[in-house]
Structure 1
């Protein structure tokens, strides 16, 4: 440490209390800036396309799509507010945005991530009712109920993360060992609570509901196959198999992506350790978590044919034509 030059200090004018860090090679810094900037732009662009599509076309103003709109909004804000800050934090050796931004950056990031998870739970409930109780769906899933659920999801995310990080927001530099750091530590108790409410609970709900959806979809496909086999055995058999594979593939994508992006982040809590952004692996697991915001529009939107048609309207600027909101894209 003492052998480093003063230029390596975050604040050379404070040599006795300023953090020192080794600068990344220029080629590595450029590569990281390019890669992370690409992910940020892709996240913003994909979620912006979802928001414009659902907001503009009247045919898409349904309760289900309102949930997709809320999900895309949280993921868009992750791309706009969280990813740029995390890019600078990951590449630069010093925190240069001040104590206030140190506290706010984590509050915003955790709140948006929780809102995204909450929206995924609401989407799984919506799909469960639609497939397992189709006759009751119009009465149970109304626009007003969905709007209230979305508002509660956002309100609970803000309140919950505010409580978890209240000490960090009150004194952002409480865990800093020197100037130029932005360290946040979530103790084991708070980490365990966060693990239950943000990971285990939502993951269990999504897993149980989608398993039920999968079982019902497969049973319906088999019932239809056996019912129509007398008329056209060969053709129906192929169709039923495709339906089963599609149901299994969708379930696998939803569950696996959620687990792959969230499990590494919550490993310290699962192992009974404190969570700290000062750990060497923090940057990787946090970016993997935020990358889920880029994958969400691919999982929940690109499976819908209307989204591809909406993209064509937007890219070709047909969306600017009069009465384009009335276009038939379903």
Structure 2
């Protein structure tokens, strides 16, 4: 029989920890090559997010021809994604690679606040853009009177204000702790800063995601049906008269609706896995491994880099604006009045 060697009493088998203290979270160690790969992927994602959305902000702000209610919503959406890339993603990158939070509890709460506000602001704006496109396609004659710049500004205030108030009440007041304390769960260990630190957080975020998504899906289904009907009517009228007639919403409006429909679809694709995992995790007592959680949250973050890429491939005006920006012609006189919609 082979003998089993017992460990020496003086030997201590230690698990890597975030902090050398009792109650510290265990740390996942990666090889240098894996760490470098993760850092590079995260940095590329941050650069795409920041630079792409910065171009949208500059383009809509600078060119007067783009000063429309829809584009003001796009500007506000891009600003939320830009701020996410500047203020949230750098610290999320370090947390993902090091598998620990080294910036303290107060900054963890601020980081969670900003993360939640910017992400909820994005979905609120996409929902409002869906309403805008619904009016433009389904009620083209009333659109200019119903959806004005003032209405867009009201939507923008709501889109920023509601997420800020909701997140502030949840994170910085004890209202929920007093009334719903039995739902709350403290951080399981020291050195962790995750969005999921209690069941109530997951249960509240779940409807905040799905209700706007349900509204967007419903509106875009109706938009798709109406746009196809209008296209058939135009085709039949042109075939019968022999002239190119215009009816219903313009081709530009239908193109914008299609593009923003793609943006909504990609948003759902990016955020659905994380949101479902959030709800399941709350029901199953937080069983998601930290590595899987990081993958899902970064997949959701990636959505903030997608919208500018969608605009590049879909909007001629955005490609022309980017070209002017990259060639530094934006500093020339009179560029703010250039008609980017002209072929």
Give the TM-score normalised by the residue count of structure 1: 0.85
- Report the equivalent of 1:239: none
Q: 1:231 to 1:275 in 2, by over 3 A?
A: farther
- Residue 329 of structure 2 is matched in structure 1 by 318
CA distance in 2, matches of 1:105, 1:277: 21
1:1-330 map, 5 Å: 2-4=12-14, 8-12=16-20, 14=21, 16-166=22-172, 175-197=186-208, 199-230=209-240, 250=259, 253-271=262-280, 273=283, 279-300=290-311, 302-330=313-341
**Deviation by residue 1:121-140 (Cα, 9 ceiling, x = unmatched):** 11111111111111111111
- Relative to structure 1, the CA distance from residue 79 to residue 277 in structure 2 (aligned partners, 3 Å threshold; closer, same or farther) is farther
Q: How many corresponding residue pairs? A: 316
Q: CA 1:184–1:144 in 2, change beyond 3 Å: closer, same or farther?
A: closer
Measured on the aligned residues, the alpha-carbon RMSD in Å equals 3.1
Q: List gaps (5 residues or longer) in structure 1.
A: 237-241
CA distance in 2, matches of 1:262, 1:249: 20
- Are the equivalent residues in 2 in contact too, given 1:183–1:276 (CA < 8 A)? no
Shift of 1:218: 0.3
Higher mean Cα deviation, 255-264 or 87-96? Answer: 255-264
* Structure 2: runs of 5+ lacking an equivalent: 1-10, 178-184, 246-250
Residues 90 and 192 of structure 1: CA distance in aligned 2, closer, same or farther (over 3 Å): same
Please list the CA deviations of residues 273-327 of structure 1 after superposition, one character each: whole Å capped at 9, or x if unmatched. Answer: 2668864421111111111111122335642211011011101111001222112
**Distance in 1 between the 2:261 and 2:74 partners?**
19
